[in-house]
Amino acid sequence: MTLMMKTCFFSLAILFLWQVQDGAEACSCVNIPPEQVFCRADMVFRATVRGRRLVDTGNGPMKSVRYDVQVTKLFKGSSRHFDAVYTSSSVGACGATLNVGEQPYVLTGRMDADGAVHITMCDFHALWDDLTFAQRRNLNQCGQSACVC
């Protein structure tokens, strides 16, 4: 390997490590109670994740993850039909990670003008079975008015 190639390789390695460190620090979430997250969200719903795939967002090299979901209960938000939620493919950019399977999640997120639902790691996402009794009662009894119960 020539000196020029070694220098180029070293420079690229430094740039790569710098970018990895940058991405690791890019997302931080304020720790607030789930009930407040529900109040701030456009959408609160229970859904089962049926599939996962990378999609091009058209915003440069960053891809998004599309989770195909089957919504079983809408607690808050637009009754507009949706069958997918989108998140960043990078944890450093606040991308949420969900497991494909049979267990339902409770998710919060934002709906854009086109009707696409977006979630981040700062939104609430937990398995329905992991919710406390009080959280389930609040969701089931209060629905759209969960913030005042």
CATH of domain 34-140: 2.40.50.120
Give tens-digit pLDDT for 25-83.
568 888 888 878 888 899 999 999 999 999 987 666 778 999 999 999 999 888 888 99
Sign (positive or negative) of CA dihedral 31, 117, 146, 131: negative
pLDDT, residue 142, reads 63
Residue 98, phi then psi, degrees to nearest 5: -120, 155
Q: Quick check: 11 pLDDT over 50? A: no
Give tens-digit pLDDT for 97-132.
999 999 999 999 999 988 899 999 999 999 999 999
pLDDT, residue 13, reads 46
pLDDT, residue 50, reads 97
